[in-house]
């Protein structure tokens, strides 16, 4: 991946000291300012390339839009629901979390709540502290032989399953992403939610908070469960409908709940917290010394690896970057951006592009897999020269959609290995180009039907001329350039001189005014790469 420059990072919450030490050890200046109000964060963030948060800092669209230099938002923990990912993506900012940092801690707390629910441990403890000895009141139930339903079979769901199987529980689950054969390999039988609800003695949720998971357990689903089912939520507040849960507890449909998270934190409505069949914690899922050390260390190492172009872990909105860490991929990205920039400069109408079709050719795996990031690179070249545009690989697809560009990408195996072809349409007129990487340098092979006799190196200051073949063209152009103090450094002509064809001239500097060449040619464009 082309290096992303991160020189300054703001840490807005209490993060393990290893985070700062690792960042500073790699030449990144770190500032720690905790408990900032929204207005303070908006005023502060404009000076930083990176922001590291936990869960208390709300990185809203206002914060993101105020951050002119921001390139990465790193959350030292799992999930990113306190970050406006859409706003960050539109701004071209990478959002990263530490997907495995608090896995063990969250799984262990889940298991602790399941065991506490089964044996009424917290309630019995409080009763003892009040001087009571009430054995009958706190009659419990064994976990052995019971059915545990796990909704969300990612890292944490897996760890919960393997631990509770040690108690002799049967583990069933649901996950729309994890393949059933994978979860089966660690002892979880997958099924639909409709099949799952009626079988469970206990249910634990381990999903992100998103529109499809809000209120996943509600009046309707509680009604489908066994009477007395016990539920645990150590994931995100809102996955279980809190009002529906309270109704289910009051009716006895739900026999108990273990809650580490709430819709509002801390919860102002204490109805659930105060319910005798609810045990609750103040969002302690990641609150272990080990998890905090791991998350702080992980987010710092992930940022450093990204900056050094070594690896990309935990990025939730920059999947396109995942395959861009080899030298070959970096060369293809430079080729895509250069070809896009050439086509933008040759757009004589200056009207917006309406269509872009990108074709990669070759039988090798690298060409088959590069389509996503190569397409994005072409679009960066097309759009980054538009006024007010700041396109990068992260946001360019959404910017293209916003601009009304229909994008198509395809791959074909052919003898022209390593060749990439691009066609764009603006104002009903088509512009085409093909290029490849030769000797590590991006080169242009063809421009709108003109196949160059020698590949054009896409570096430096380039002047593209469209004209009919004429022996006097080069001397005339050379004279016009010389009068403007510009020297010719290279000249590339097409193989076929029939009709209006394209030439490329490498020049010492760009012209101040292209009009000096317009009497000599049909079309003229220039750019610096």
Q: Which residues have a catalytic role annotated?
A: 236, 265, 283
**Side-chain half-sphere exposure of 298, counting CA atoms within 13 A:** 25
Question: What is the C-alpha separation between 491 and 489, in angstroms, rounded?
Answer: 7
> Whole-angstrom Cα distance, residue 434 to residue 371?
14
Instruction: Give the whole-angstrom CA distance, residue 124 versus residue 293.
Output: 33
The side-by-side arrangement of strands in the sheet containing 189-190 is 189-190, 170-174, 147-151, 202-205, 229-233, 254-259, 278-280
Rounded Cα distance between 267 and 289, Å, is 25
Ordered DSSP codes for 73-134: EEESSS--TTB-HHHHHHHT-EEEE-TTTTHHHHHHHHHHHHHHHHHTHHHHHHHHHTT---
On the CB side of 56, CA atoms within 13 Å amount to: 14
d(CA 287, CA 109): 10
Whether 335 contacts 420, CB under 8 Å: yes
State both tokens at 324.
């861009």
Closest CA relative to residue 307, chosen from 26, 11, 25: 26
Locate the DSSP E strands across 292-352: none
348 neighbors 523 (Cβ within 8 angstroms): yes
Q: What does each C-alpha distance from 377 to 337, 347, 399 come to in angstroms?
A: 5, 18, 13
* Whole-number Å distance between alpha carbons of 272 and 242: 8
Cα 49 to Cα 378: distance, rounded to the nearest angstrom: 25
Distance of alpha carbon 170 from the chain centroid: 35
Whether residue 266 is preceded by a cis peptide bond, meaning omega within 30 degrees of 0, is yes
The number of CA neighbours under 13 Å toward the Cβ of 356 is 29
| Cα distance between the two ends of the chain | 19
What CA–CA distances, in Å, run from 123 to 227, 257, 279, 496? Answer: 21, 13, 8, 88
Please check whether residue 47 is in contact with residue 27, taking contact to mean a CB–CB distance below 8 angstroms.
no
């Amino acid at each position: 991946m082309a290096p992303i420059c991160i020189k300054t990072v703001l840490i807005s919450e209490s993060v393990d000291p290893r985070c700062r030490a690792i960042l500073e050890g790699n030449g990144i200046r770190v500032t720690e300012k905790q408990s900032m109000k929204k207005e303070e964060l908006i005023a502060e963030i404009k000076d930083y390339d990176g922001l590291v948060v936990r869960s208390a800092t709300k990185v809203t669209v206002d914060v993101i839009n105020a951050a002119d230099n921001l390139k990465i938002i790193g959350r030292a923990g799992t999930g990113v629901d306190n970050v406006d990912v859409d706003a960050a993506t539109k701004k071209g900012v990478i959002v990263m979390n530490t997907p495995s940092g608090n896995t063990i801690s969250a799984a262990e707390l889940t298991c602790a709540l399941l065991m506490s629910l089964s044996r009424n441990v917290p309630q019995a403890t409080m009763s003892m502290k009040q001087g009571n000895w009430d054995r009958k009141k706190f009659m419990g139930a064994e976990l052995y032989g019971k059915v545990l339903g796990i909704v969300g079979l990612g890292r944490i769901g897996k760890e919960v399953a393997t631990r509770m199987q040690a108690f002799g529980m049967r583990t069933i689950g649901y996950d729309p992403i994890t393949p059933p054969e994978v979860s089966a390999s660690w002892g979880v039988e997958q099924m639909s939610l409709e099949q799952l609800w009626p079988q469970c003695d206990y249910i634990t949720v381990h999903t992100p908070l998103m529109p499809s998971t809000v209120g996943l357990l509600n009046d309707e689903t509680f009604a489908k469960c066994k009477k007395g089912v016990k539920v645990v939520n150590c994931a995100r507040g809102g996955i279980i409908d809190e009002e529906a849960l309270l109704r289910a507890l009051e009716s006895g449909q739900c026999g108990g709940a273990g809650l580490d998270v709430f819709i509002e934190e801390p919860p102002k409505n204490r109805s659930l917290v105060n319910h005798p069949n609810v045990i609750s914690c103040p969002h302690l899922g990641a609150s272990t010394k080990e998890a905090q050390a791991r998350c702080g260390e992980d987010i710092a190492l992930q940022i450093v690896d990204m900056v050094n172009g070594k690896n990309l872990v935990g990025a939730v909105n920059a999947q396109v970057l995942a395959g861009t860490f080899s030298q070959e991929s970096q060369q293809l990205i430079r080729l895509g951006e250069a070809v896009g920039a050439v086509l933008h400069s040759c757009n004589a109408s200056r009207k917006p592009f309406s269509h872009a079709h990108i074709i990669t050719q070759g039988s090798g795996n690298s060409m088959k897999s590069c389509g996503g990031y190569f397409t994005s690179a072409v679009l960066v070249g097309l759009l980054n020269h538009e006024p007010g545009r700041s396109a990068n690989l992260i946001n360019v697809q959404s910017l293209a959609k916003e601009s009304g560009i229909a994008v198509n990408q395809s791959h074909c195996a052919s003898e022209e290995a390593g060749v990439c072809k691009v066609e764009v349409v603006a104002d009903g007129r088509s512009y085409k180009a093909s290029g490849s990487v030769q000797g590590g340098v991006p080169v242009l092979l063809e421009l709108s039907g003109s196949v160059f006799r020698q590949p054009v190196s896409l570096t430096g200051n380039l002047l593209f001329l469209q004209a009919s073949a004429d022996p006097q063209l080069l001397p005339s152009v050379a004279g016009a350039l010389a009068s403007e103090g510009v020297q010719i450094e290279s000249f590339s002509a097409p193989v076929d001189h029939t009709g209006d064809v394209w030439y490329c001239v490498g020049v010492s500097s760009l012209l101040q005014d292209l009009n000096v060449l317009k009497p000599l040619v049909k079309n003229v464009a220039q750019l610096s790469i």
